[in-house]
Structure 1
């Protein structure tokens, strides 16, 4: 559950940069959004692996 909470925090932290990129065409914010999306992808994969391991133990 800790990783899921971290995932939610990461989404919340990138929200301001997403608004800057989409509403103000701020390219630097777009770069930060792209990095955050990659981090989200990696974290989501870790959560998927963890869930599968727990499920298979049961």
Structure 2
């Protein structure tokens, strides 16, 4: 589930990566957070696609 804390932490780590770099533990945490985030996004997209119905207008 995507919540604001997850997004904030991802953004914190991304900013730190660009400025001072990440420790090995932080890189691992970032990878795990990305997996959670992307999994949630993929789930939302699949849900939206499963609700699409095509209508033949003929």
TM-score under structure 2 length normalisation = 0.63
Rg (Cα) greater in structure: 2
RMSD, matched Cα: 2.5
Ranges in structure 1 where 5+ consecutive residues have no aligned partner:
none
What is the aligned counterpart of 1:29 among 22, 26, 29? Answer: 26
Which segments of 5 or more consecutive residues in structure 2 lack a partner in the other structure?
A: none
Q: How many pairs were matched up? A: 53
Pick the structure with more helix per residue.
1
Structure with greater contact order relative to length (CA < 8 Å, sep ≥ 6)? 2
What TM-score do the two structures reach when normalised by structure 1?
A: 0.63
